[in-house]
Structure 1
Amino acid sequence: MTEKDIQVALPYVKDLPQATEPFMAKVAVTDKNFGRVPKVYIRTSLDKMVSPKLQEEMLGNWEVEQIHTLPAGHFPTLSLPAELAELLL
């Protein structure tokens, strides 16, 4: 993420509280619902919030149809929107 990206995003996030409960809550997923949705994972190789190691661990818990890597931080929607859209469409 560049300094310009940060300046664009900052007004939208700087005073927002961080929701932490979703990270601790147990969630029940079923094959009937979550399991039937095709999944694509976008690795973000420059992510400083979710390390590459943690991304790999997360991938080990899900069935993913496609895995792509972008040279981006945690918000590729800001830093590489065209590249992200191309992968998802």
Structure 2
Amino acid sequence: MQIPEAELKPVLTRMRRAHGHLASVIRMLEEGAECEDALTQLAAVNKALARSGYSLVATGLQHCMREEGPDNVDEQKLERLFLSLA
């Protein structure tokens, strides 16, 4: 399934923000930051990426329901995709 760019924009924005945040964590470690501070920031990156994944699944589901109708959604495939994030 291909999701239109306009529908993906919020997901991509969230991922880009997480990407920048991860770069900051790497920089912190390279500059000798305290481990606890880096881990706190890394946890925030991890949460942002997880939310991006869930948002992508939700966006894809909404797109499928709207474009293909509820009877054409492969529920098992959707469940596998969702559980891959767990």
TM-score band, normalised by the shorter chain?
under 0.3
TM-score (norm 2): 0.25
Counting strand residues as a fraction of each chain, which structure ranks higher?
1
Task: Name the larger-Rg structure.
Answer: 2
TM-score (norm 1): 0.24
Greater per-residue helix proportion: 2
